[in-house]
Amino acid sequence: MRFTRLQFGETLRQIYFAGVRSLVIIVTCGFFVGLVLTLQSYDALARFGAADATSTLLALSLFRELGPVLTAILFAGRAGTSITAEIGLMRATEQLDALDLMAIDPLERIVQPRLIAGMIAVPALVLIFNATALLGGLVYAVFLMGTDTMVFWGNIQNTVELGRDFGHGMLKSVGFGIVASWLAVYYGWTAKPTGEGVALATTQTVIATAIVVLFLDFVLSALML
């Protein structure tokens, strides 16, 4: 497929649509996930005298699993459903057929920018999710439980491996971004050209993405051990 200036502009628009406009839910969920995970981890580890390891457990859980998985599912619920509905509406109003009549490849004009946008947006959103979750964990550990800030960050720096823990999580996020975007496009493309058909397709997008992401996460985690 070609990548023209028009394609570049459309890809940027889709990155904004799928990524920037998903920031509110990503930041909000990330912060509270960090709070809750730290609360539960601190309570469990304190029973064994290992409360200082709370930040390590938080960081490893986020970088390896929770960050990529939860972000991909949130992406499907916010951006994926919108992509499906948009393409489904194009199908219902025969806009895709019109592109064919004008000798414009719908795959290049519609599909390609959205796939590239998802591949870029999801990893970026994962970084933001992880950062806000760590912030939430820091707020709880330092201001509510009295943990020293330097101990909190020092444990993370001493135990988290950049390539294995952080890097593997980011590789997952790229794969999840491609999967989430492809499923959103697929269900929009194959939706029945009716209001009910488009509504059903958006629901299928979220369900399919959640199932595939969770399965793929298990497979990748097993391979990356």
Cα-based angle 169, 174, 180 (whole degrees, multiple of 5): 115
Q: How confident is the model at residue 214 (pLDDT cuts 50, 70, 90)?
A: very high
Structure tokens at 2: 């070609």
Q: How confident is the model at residue 2 (pLDDT cuts 50, 70, 90)?
A: low
- Which pLDDT tens digit goes with each residue over 118-139? 999 999 999 999 999 999 999 9
Distances (CA, A) of 56 to 44, 146, 151, 153, 212: 13, 16, 10, 9, 28
pLDDT exceeding 70 applies to what percent of the chain? 98
- Rounded to two decimals, the pTM is 0.91
DSSP state, residue 193: S
DSSP state, residue 77: I
DSSP state, residue 191: S
Question: Are the CB atoms for 79 and 121 separated by under 8 Å?
Answer: yes
Q: Flag whether pLDDT at 217 surpasses 90.
A: yes
**Structural domains in the chain (count):** 1
Please give the pLDDT value at position 56. Answer: 92
- In sequence order, the 6+-apart residues with CB closer than 8 A to the CB of 117 are 11, 14, 15, 17, 18, 19, 181
Structure tokens at 87: 């393409």
Q: Which residue has the higher pLDDT, 193 or 218?
A: 218
- Residue 185's domain spans which residues? 5-224
Q: Flag whether pLDDT at 168 surpasses 90.
A: yes
- Which pLDDT tens digit goes with each residue over 71-100? 999 999 999 999 999 998 888 887 777 877
